[in-house]
């Protein structure tokens, strides 16, 4: 499979890869029905997109900044690759964001996947570290 923008026909593949990603990230077990519904929405909404490779994906959406609705932010939700296509997936997402005239692209990392390598890749592509996130389970 070449890299491609996902459609409704690709929802099952996105779900399959999302389960693998969630497991490896230490995230809660996904709900399959929720994922199916989410990806159907994402790939059919003009402000959402997902891109697929054989064993990888990236997904995100565009939303206005909370304090300035004309400032458009693209938010990456998940980025995962087992087939060494991660940079191509990122490039496809960046190209989509630029075509949508966003003001900024926001990428996040999860501790199991973060580290110097990912930060260096993002920095080389012009990303700056801006926020830290803290989680407390209840």
Contact (CB, 8 A) for 93 and 76: yes
Exposure pattern of 77-111 as b/e (b: 16+ CB <10 Å)?
A: ebbbbeeebbebbbebbbebbeeeebeebebeebe
Angle ∠(53,38,25) on CA atoms, nearest 5 = 60
**Which pLDDT does position 118 carry in this prediction?**
84
Class of domain 4-124: alpha beta
Domain residue spans of the chain: 4-124
Task: Give 10-residue mean pLDDT values along the chain (138 residues).
Answer: 93 97 92 98 98 97 97 96 95 98 93 76 93 86
Give the pair of three-digit tokens for residue 100: 């949508």
Q: How many CA atoms are closer than 13 Å to the CA of 45, on its beta-carbon side?
A: 15
């Amino acid at each position: 499979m070449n890299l491609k923008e996902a459609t409704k026909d690709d929802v099952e593949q996105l779900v399959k890869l999302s389960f693998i990603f969630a497991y490896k990230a230490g995230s809660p077990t996904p709900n399959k029905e929720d994922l199916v519904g989410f990806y159907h929405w994402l790939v059919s909404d003009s402000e959402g997109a997902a891109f697929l490779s054989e064993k990888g994906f990236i997904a995100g959406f565009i939303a206005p900044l909370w304090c300035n609705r004309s400032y458009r932010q693209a938010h990456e939700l998940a980025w995962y690759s087992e087939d060494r296509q991660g940079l191509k997936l990122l490039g496809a997402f960046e190209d989509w964001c630029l075509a949508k005239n966003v003001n900024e692209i926001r990428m996040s990392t999860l501790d199991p996947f973060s580290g110097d390598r990912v930060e260096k890749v993002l920095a080389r592509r012009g990303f700056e570290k801006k926020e830290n996130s803290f989680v407390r389970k209840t």
